[in-house]
Amino acid sequence: MQKLIFKLSILLVITLLLALNFTWVRTDEILNSETPTYQPDFLADAKKLDPKAEILNEYLAKHNSPLQYHAQDFIDAANLYNLDWRLVAAIAGTESTFGKHIPGGFNGWGWGVYGNQALGFQSWTDGIFTVSKGLRENYVNIGLSEPYKMNRKYAASPHWAKSVTFFMNDLERFSKNYQVDNSLGEADISIIKIAAASGKMPK
């Protein structure tokens, strides 16, 4: 009986050590990976989003979009390829309701979709950067710089540009309201601090 308990104890210790080692390896791979990938909130929060990415993150969250965790990727790709920061997200809104209805392969932009053929990407990050690069090289560089000019080449539907423009404008309105709300929030906090320090309520 004692031998059996001893063997079971050894087996339990080995199992725990293997589990801990696997966890350490996976965490190390995530933190040291050169390719941006989806991260859970506790890792995503480690990298501070720039202001536009923060706004886009909140906007995509409002739409329950799986792309919300890639807001910084949209901004980084827009900066890299000199695009309007709202454009690629707005196309995703039009083509897939912000990534919620896709043909597969992280393709939320209808990119390379012809009939039953659909181009797939390795990740949302891959899709964002590939589409951004394609828009720069195959559209903007030849003068198709905004949705109404892009429409005929990008989509068969004549309503595509109207929808993309709607989401771009909607995101712009959201951005302005977000900035106003945040600035008011900071002002309120400052007033409360001043009032608490002086012992007087603000008039």
Give the tens place of pLDDT for each residue, 17-39: 454 443 333 334 333 444 343 34
Structural domain includes residue 203: no
Same domain, 191 and 98: yes
CATH code at position 178: 1.10.530.10
Distance from C-alpha of 161 to C-alpha of 158, rounded to nearest angstrom: 7
| Overall average pLDDT of the 115-125 stretch | 87
Q: How confident is the model over 89-103, as pLDDT tens digits?
A: 999 999 999 999 998
Say if CB 124 and CB 102 are below 8 A apart. Answer: no
Same domain, 5 and 95: no
Which run of H or E residues covers position 19?
A: helix 2-32
Same domain, 130 and 194: yes
Residue with more model confidence, 21 or 127? 127
User: What's the domain range around 178?
Assistant: 41-198
**How many structural domains compose the chain?**
2
Nearest Cα residue to 74 out of 89, 60, 62, 64:
89
Say if CB 77 and CB 128 are below 8 A apart. Answer: yes
Residue with more model confidence, 40 or 118? 118
Structural domain includes residue 74: yes
Q: How confident is the model at residue 4 (pLDDT cuts 50, 70, 90)?
A: low
Same domain, 125 and 28: no
| Overall average pLDDT of the 35-63 stretch | 70
Query: 65 CB contacts (<8 Å, ≥6 apart)?
Result: 92, 97, 98, 99, 100
Same domain, 104 and 163: yes
| Mean pLDDT for the chain overall | 78
Residue with more model confidence, 48 or 47? 48
| Overall average pLDDT of the 71-82 stretch | 98
Q: What is the dihedral of CA 82, 83, 89, 94, to 10 degrees?
A: -150
| Overall average pLDDT of the 67-79 stretch | 97
Q: What is the pLDDT of residue 62?
A: 96
